[in-house]
Structure 1
Amino acid sequence: MTAQERIERAASALKVFPLPSAVLFPHTVIPLHIFEPRYRALVRDALAGDRILALSQLEPGWEGDYGGRPPMQPLMCAGVIVWDEQVEEGRYNILLQGVCRVRMTSELTEDKAYREVQAEALPDFPYEGPEEEQLRQAVFELAGRVPPSFAENLLPVAARAQGGMLADVVASAVIPEPERRQALLAELDVKRRLEGVLEDVGALIGRLQPLRPTGPLN
């Protein structure tokens, strides 16, 4: 069974971890430290079952009710726990690999400490267009303005990724703000998503100076 099929099977009762500080994209991996009791229970149940959960953003104004069940934004990313370790006091460290976007259609009843939803999986359709090469060229230009260790991780992925995957992996690497990341996650039109990420990369290039060589010049 593919990861996509696992998400589709889990979508009728999808475990959700609302985390306002982080947005997961498909085709990327995020490390998480799980310490709240309700989300320790979520991870424990996920590990005992299909290892599937979704990461979501909360609607604005959540701060006063974080300990309850504030409204969640309906567009989120579902993924697979690809690595885990249990540490002191029953906490977990996990790596969550994003698989696809999902749209929450309804939240299930409160019979568990954590939150579960019914959702619809939203895989990207194949796309080819000039925006792909434009974004790749922008990433190559950006690579000349960032530390080599960062460029070495991003360039191989950007070179082989296509369509929506290209937009997602670049956005995940270069855009830190949760609000902007969520806006790009919620953009289901691949062409517009590529254009949006290209704008962000272009703005970043404009703020950075090319790196000067550090070795001797011949």
Structure 2
Amino acid sequence: MSDTLPMFPLGTVVFPGMSVPLHVFEDRYRMLVRHLLAVEDPAQRVFGTVAIREGYEVGDHGAQSVYRVGCVLQLTEVDRNADGTFDIVAVARERLQLEEMQRGSDFPQGVAEVLTEPRVDVPAEVLERARATFTAFRVAMTELQGDPFSGSLPRDPDYLAWTLSALAPLPLAERQSLLEAPDTTERLRLVTRLLTEELRAINVIPSLPATQVARTAWSPN
């Protein structure tokens, strides 16, 4: 079933479980935040996000310049600044499939369907290989620039897949492919392959700086 949601397209791919800090300064997105704050139930202060395709801006033809799979975000923290801007934190929940972007009267809106995540039994070897590949990648990154990660990996396969997807320092299109993967098994296989390719690049040209790690924090909410 499709619903109309406020939309906040971003220049990055967001994964379920990620904590997303945003500085809100544009008038239309300030209106979006004020709209959410007027919702009495904090659990219903939700909006959608999709990644802006590289090389595009969201304008009159915004529906043509954004990816169609994104996430539902729940507003969790708000700081009002004296200049009228906001600093907010939102937590990504389930994935969404965008059907249509609408300009709206005050802020962008979209017609979107929340995606149901399929439950699959992930083979043990897929889990083990994903963990081992990330561990090897972490060691390689630590040797180059110090450990860029903190904490331990979750044991739950779904959380593990989203965590590795969020932590992998990959180009936007590859991160989007991880978000769009059909299930946890395929997502773990894909992130393992992509991290293996990154490892090969680090080992072949170790003097080059590693790809900057994605700055958006992940937290298992």
* TM-score calculated relative to the size of structure 2: 0.76
Question: In structure 2, what is the Cα distance between the partners aligned to 1:131 and 1:48?
Answer: 45
Question: In structure 2, what is the Cα distance between the partners aligned to 1:59 and 1:144?
Answer: 31
Question: In structure 1, what is the Cα distance between the partners aligned to 2:186 and 2:31?
Answer: 38
Residues 45/134 of structure 1: CA separation in 2 closer, same or farther (3 Å cut): same
Residues 166/61 of structure 1: CA separation in 2 closer, same or farther (3 Å cut): same
Question: In structure 2, what is the Cα distance between the partners aligned to 1:101 and 1:167?
Answer: 14
Aligned to 2:177, which of 173, 183, 188? 183
Paired position in structure 2 for 1:150: 148
Instruction: Answer yes or no: is the 8 Å Cα contact 1:27–1:98 preserved in 2.
Output: yes
Aligned to 2:94, which of 89, 96, 100? 100
Paired position in structure 2 for 1:4: none
Question: In structure 1, what is the Cα distance between the partners aligned to 2:202 and 2:78?
Answer: 37
Describe how 1:92-171 pairs up with structure 2 within 5 A: 92-108=86-102, 110-127=103-120, 128-129=122-123, 130-147=125-142, 149-153=147-151, 156=152, 158-163=153-158, 165-171=159-165
Describe how 1:13-92 pairs up with structure 2 within 5 A: 13-19=4-10, 21-49=11-39, 50-58=44-52, 62-63=56-57, 66-71=58-63, 72-92=66-86
Question: In structure 2, what is the Cα distance between the partners aligned to 1:58 and 1:174?
Answer: 19
Instruction: Answer yes or no: is the 8 Å Cα contact 1:136–1:159 preserved in 2.
Output: no
Root-mean-square deviation (CA, aligned residues, Å) is 2.5
Paired position in structure 2 for 1:202: 196
Residues 62/131 of structure 1: CA separation in 2 closer, same or farther (3 Å cut): same
Runs of at least 5 residues in structure 1 that lack an aligned partner in the other structure: 1-7, 210-218
Residue by residue, what CA displacement relative to the aligned partner does 1:63-91 show, whole Å, maximum 9, x if unpaired? 3xx34342132211112122221113211
Instruction: Answer yes or no: is the 8 Å Cα contact 1:175–1:200 preserved in 2.
Output: no
Cα deviation, residue 117, structure 1: 2.0
Larger mean CA deviation between 140-149 and 89-98 belongs to 140-149
Cα deviation, residue 175, structure 1: 2.6
Cα deviation, residue 93, structure 1: 1.1
Residue 193 in structure 1 maps to residue 183 in structure 2: no
Paired position in structure 2 for 1:3: none
Residue by residue, what CA displacement relative to the aligned partner does 1:138-193 show, whole Å, maximum 9, x if unpaired? 1222232234653333xx1x242313x32221111123422221222122233222
How many residues end up aligned between the 2 structures?
Answer: 193
User: Match for 2:96: what amino acid?
Assistant: V
SS at match of 1:57: coil
Cα deviation, residue 32, structure 1: 1.1
Residues 107/152 of structure 1: CA separation in 2 closer, same or farther (3 Å cut): closer
